[in-house]
Structure formats: structure tokens, C-alpha cells
């Protein structure tokens, strides 16, 4: 994964994987999840992500890598099923799951999308897709279907309302909820400061 993602500059680089792996193992332990599955799914969770892979034919990387390592077919399918369920697909699109490993990984991945690191990654991602920072004339949009969410080209600040500020309430583990709380507060403070500076005010 390190060699595949080392040159990414959209916020989905190797260090994102590294942080998600650590968080997923921490949360997984607290939930008594199968840590072997958690760790493998965490390491491979972005290699076939829709944001990074445009070509559907390439959506088999995780599976072929697992098979090439001698992981049996059923287990490889199981891990790919977890990965499939991880991605955020729009404000109104329900991605909650009963699969414990998937819940753990979703929380870990979403925690890395909020707080100070989340802010940095969001602007990096926006820049990589040619999005502006902010445009007060373009209001945020709460996408209820995945196709429209994927096509969205709105400024990066809108992404806070379309995704980042919603993640706290979508956490599915106890530890995820408690870690999300603090990161969420930090984003609210960032936005207050951002608008104050935008308007030339003091906070
Ligand atoms: Ni990720």
C-alpha cells in the first residue's frame, strides 16, 4: 500500500492508511472485533475507492492482491465486502451496517476525515479536483443519491456541511463516538474563525 499510494496528494496517501489502520485496531480491540480482518481491510480500504479509481475494471485490486498472498477465496471476498461498505456516499445515503468489522473500519476512516487532519485532507482533496475554497453564492447541498454526490463540484467549505459535520452522528462504535466529539468541536471552531476572517471581523 505504501508503494501504491506514496505519491498521492489528494489526502488518500499512505499516511491516511497508516492512521486508519492504527485507529481501526484501537476501536476494533475495544469492540472485540476480529483484528486480522480489521487490519487487512484497513490497509486495503482505499485501493479500489470510487474517488480514486475511475475505471471500473480496476476495482479488483484488493481482491487480486489478497489472492496473490494465498488468502483463500472466501476470506478475500469477506474482506472486499467490508471495504465495499466503508465509503461515504452522500448526506442522505444510508451506509450503516450490522457488520462489526465494517462498523469499526467506517468509524476509523471517518475519524480521519474530521478534526484538524480532516480539514487538511478536505482542502487537499478539493484542490486535487480543481475545487475552489469557498463561494458564498453557492450554498451546500445535501445529496440524497450517490450519483449526484459523486458529480458534485462545489467549493470545499460546502463539503463541511455535505459530509464532515454529519459524520459525528453516524459513528457506530462507542469509542468512535467519543473520539468524534472532540474533532467535531474543532471543525466548528475552524468554521467560526474562517467566516470571521472572510468578513474581516475579529472573533
Ligand atoms: Ni480512507
Centre of ligand 1 from the C-alpha of residue 188, in Å:
22
Percentage above 90 pLDDT, the chain:
63
Centre of ligand 1 from the C-alpha of residue 200, in Å:
35
pLDDT tens digits along 59-88: 588 888 899 999 999 999 999 989 888 876
- What domains are defined for the chain? 2-198 (1.10.3210.50)
Centre of ligand 1 from the C-alpha of residue 109, in Å:
5
Centre of ligand 1 from the C-alpha of residue 45, in Å:
6
pLDDT tens digits along 134-192: 999 988 877 777 777 676 778 999 999 999 999 999 999 999 999 999 999 999 999 99
Centre of ligand 1 from the C-alpha of residue 196, in Å:
31
End-to-end CA distance of the chain: 43
Centre of ligand 1 from the C-alpha of residue 46, in Å:
5
Q: Say if residue 53's pLDDT is above 80.
A: no
Q: What is the value of pTM for the model shown?
A: 0.86
Amino acid at each position: 500500500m505504501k508503494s501504491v499510494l506514496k505519491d498521492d496528494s489528494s489526502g488518500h496517501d499512505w499516511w491516511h492508511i497508516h492512521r486508519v489502520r492504527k485507529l481501526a485496531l484501537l476501536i476494533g480491540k475495544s469492540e472485540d472485533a476480529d483484528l486480522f480482518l480489521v487490519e487487512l481491510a484497513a490497509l486495503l480500504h482505499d485501493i479500489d475507492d470510487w474517488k480514486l479509481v475511475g475505471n471500473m475494471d480496476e476495482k479488483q485490486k484488493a481482491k487480486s492482491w489478497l489472492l496473490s498472498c494465498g488468502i483463500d477465496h472466501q476470506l478475500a471476498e469477506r474482506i472486499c465486502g467490508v471495504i465495499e461498505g466503508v465509503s461515504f456516499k452522500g448526506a442522505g445515503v444510508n451506509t450503516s451496517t450490522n457488520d462489526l468489522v465494517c462498523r469499526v473500519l467506517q468509524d476509523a476512516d471517518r475519524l480521519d476525515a474530521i478534526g484538524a487532519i480532516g480539514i487538511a485532507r478536505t482542502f487537499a482533496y478539493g484542490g486535487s479536483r480543481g475545487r475552489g475554497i469557498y463561494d458564498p453564492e453557492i450554498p451546500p447541498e445535501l445529496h440524497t443519491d450517490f450519483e449526484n454526490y459523486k458529480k458534485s463540484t462545489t467549493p470545499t467549505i460546502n463539503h463541511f456541511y455535505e459530509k464532515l459535520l454529519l459524520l459525528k452522528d453516524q459513528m457506530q462504535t462507542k469509542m468512535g463516538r467519543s473520539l468524534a466529539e472532540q474533532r467535531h468541536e474543532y471543525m466548528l471552531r475552524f468554521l467560526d474563525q474562517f467566516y470571521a476572517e472572510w468578513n474581516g471581523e475579529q472573533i
